[in-house]
Amino acid sequence: MKNLDQLVRPNIWRLTPYSCARDEFKGRDAHVFLDANENPYNAPLNRYPDPLQEDLKRELEQVKGVPSAYTFLGNGSDEAIDLIYRVFCQPCKDNVVAISPTYGMYQVCAHINDVEYRPVLLDDGFQLNADRLLAATDERTKVIWICSPNNPTGNAMQRSEIERVLTCFEGIVVVDEAYSDFNQLRPFRFDLPSYPNLIVLNTFSKAWASAAIRLGIAYASPQIVTLLNKVKYPYNVNLLTQRQASEMLRSLPKLNQWLSTIRTEREHLLPAVAELSHCRKVYPTDANFFLARFDNADQLYHYLVERGIIVRNRSRVALCEGCLRITVGTPQENCELLAALRQYKA
Ligand SMILES: *Cc1c(COP(=O)(O)O)cnc(C)c1O
C-alpha cells in the first residue's frame, strides 16, 4: 500500500475539522450543560447526540467482533460510500475501478464527485478476475470497489481473488459486505489487521432489518476511520437511530430466527422458480435475493406489477439481460409470488 498521505486528497489531509461542543467536553460527571445553546427542556431529544457514537460502537464491538477504533458509523452505507470519494479522490484527476454489474451507488457517487468510474465486467459465472481489475488501474486509481455477495448477481466473489486485489493494489480496496450475514463465509471485517488498505462496508438495512433508521458501518484502520470522521457532518447519526440500533443489537435471538426463516424460504423458492417453464436460469445466491432469467422479463415484470408484486427489473443491466432480481420475502409473500409466476402465460 502507498503511504496514506499519498492516497488522501491534500486538502483533506491538511483539514482542521469542525470542533463541536460535544467534542470539546468529554467528561462524564458534569450535570449542567450550558455549552451548546440547546433548549434545557424536552429531554432527551433536546441534546445533541454523541458525534462519535461511542456507546453504540462498544455494543457493536461485542456483537461484530471488531474493535471500535476500527469502526466508522454513517447515515447508511451510502454516507460511507460518498465519504470515501471525498476523502481519497480528487475531482477530475483521480479515478476508481469497480466490478460490473454491481450496486449503483458507487457509480452515482463517482459522478457526483466528478471522479472517473472504470467498470470491469465480471465473467460468465459472475466472478471477478483480479488480473482484469488490476489491469484497469493506473497511477491515478485511488479506490477499487468490490461487492460480495454482489448486488444484483447475489453470489459471493472468490476470497482468493479479493485477497489478490488487496495484496497487489497500492490504493484503497472497498469490500461491501451488506449481505454477508446471509451466508456462512468468513467475512472480510476479520482481515483488517492483515490489510491496511481494506475498507469493509456493513449495514443495518438488510440482515439487521432496519433500513428505516439509516445506519451503515465502515470498518477500516484507525487512521482511515479518523479521516472519515474528520469529513462527516458532526452529528451524522441521530439519537433515535443510535438507540434503535442498540435495541436491535440486544434482539439477537429474534434476528437469528428471522435469518433462519429467510434461509429456509430461499432453499424452497429457488428450485421452485427454476422449474417454471418460462424460467431459463436461476443463479446461485449467497444473499437474501436471487437473479433469475426469464423468456420475457419485461412483460413478466409488468404482469407482476399488475398483481401488486414488485421485483427489480435488471434486464437492461450488462450480463443480466432478461433477468429479474427477486428478494426472499415472508413464507406468505413467497407463496403469492410463486402462484402468480405459475399462472403467467407468455
Ligand atoms: C442495500 C445495499 C446497501 C445498503 O445501503 P444503506 O445506505 O446502508 O441502506 C449497501 N450496499 C449494497 C451492495 C446494497 O445492496
Residue nearest to atom 12 of ligand 1 (CA): 178
What is the rounded end-to-end Cα distance, in angstroms, of the chain?
54
Residue 96 pairs in a beta bridge with: 117, 143
Q: Quick check: CB of 73 below 6 Å from ligand 1? A: no
Residue range 41-60: mean pLDDT, rounded:
97
* Nearest CA residue ID for atom 15, ligand 1: 151
Atom of ligand 1 nearest to the CA of 204: 8
Q: Give mean pLDDT, residues 3-32.
A: 88
Report the side by side order of strands in the sheet with 216-219. 71-74, 216-219, 198-203, 172-176, 141-147, 95-100, 116-121
Angle at 181 between CA 155 and CA 327, to 5 degrees: 60
How far does residue 326's CA lie from ligand 1's centre (Å)? 16
The predicted pLDDT at position 32 comes to 93
Q: Which atom of ligand 1 is nearest to the CA of 211?
A: 9
Ligand 1 pocket, mutate which of 150, 151, 203 (most atoms under 8 A from CB):
203
Query: Would the CB of 74 count as within 6 Å of ligand 1?
Result: no
Domain ranges of the chain: 4-24+50-250, 253-343
Question: What's the alpha-carbon Rg for the chain, to the nearest Å?
Answer: 22
With contact defined as beta carbons under 8 Å apart, do 286 and 155 qualify?
yes
For residue 203 and ligand 1, the question of a CB distance below 6 A is answered with yes
* CATH number at 253-343: 3.90.1150.10
Query: Which residue from 215, 26, 206 is spatially nearest to 103, judged by alpha carbons?
Result: 206
Would you call 229 exposed, middle or buried from its count of C-beta atoms within 10 A (0-12, 13-18, 19+)?
middle
- 4-24+50-250 belongs to CATH 3.40.50.1820: no
14 burial (CB, 10 Å; 0-12 / 13-18 / 19+) is: exposed
Tell me the angle at which helices 222-231 and 77-88 cross, rounded to the nearest 10 degrees: 100
Residue 27 is predicted with a pLDDT of 67
Return the amino acid letter for 29. D
Calpha distance 301→315 (Å, rounded)? 10
Out of 206, 219, 289, mutate this one to test ligand 1's pocket (max ligand atoms within 8 Å of CB): namely 206
Q: Is the CB of 287 under 6 A from ligand 1?
A: no
Count CB atoms within 10 A of the CB of residue 271: 9
pLDDT digits (tens, 9 = 90+) for 163-192: 999 999 999 999 999 999 999 999 999 999
Average pLDDT value for residue range 105-134: 98
For 64-100, write each residue's pLDDT tens digit: 999 999 999 999 999 999 999 999 999 999 999 999 9
- Beta-bridge mates of residue 323: 293
Beta strands (DSSP E) in 113-206 are: 116-121, 141-147, 172-176, 198-203
Query: Does the pLDDT at position 25 exceed 80?
Result: no
Q: All 3 cell numbers of residue 11? A: 486538502
Span from the CA of 93 to the centroid of ligand 1 (angstroms)? 27
pTM above 0.85, yes or no: yes
How many whole angstroms separate alpha carbon 172 and alpha carbon 178?
18
Q: Is 286 in the pocket of ligand 1 (CB under 6 A)?
A: no
The amino acid at 102: T
User: What is the rounded distance in angstroms from the CA atom of residue 273 to the CA atom of residue 47?
Assistant: 51
DSSP state of 219: E
* 51 preceded by a cis bond (ω within 30 of 0): no
For residue 70, what is the DSSP state?
Answer: G
Q: Is the CB of 241 under 6 A from ligand 1?
A: no
Dist CA 288 CA 269 (whole Å): 11
Does ligand 1 have an atom closer than 6 angstroms to the CB of 78?
yes
* Range from 21-30, 162-171, 215-224 carrying the lowest mean pLDDT: 21-30
* 325 CA to centre of ligand 1 in angstroms: 15
Nearest ligand 1 atom to the CA of 216 is: 8
Percent with pLDDT over 90 in the chain? 95
Q: What does the pLDDT read at residue 346?
A: 74
Q: Say how far apart CA 177 and CA 162 lie, in whole Å.
A: 12
What is the average per-residue pLDDT within 36-49? 96
Torsion angles phi and psi, residue 118, rounded to 5 = -115, 95
Nearest CA to 327 among 281, 265, 272, 277? Answer: 265
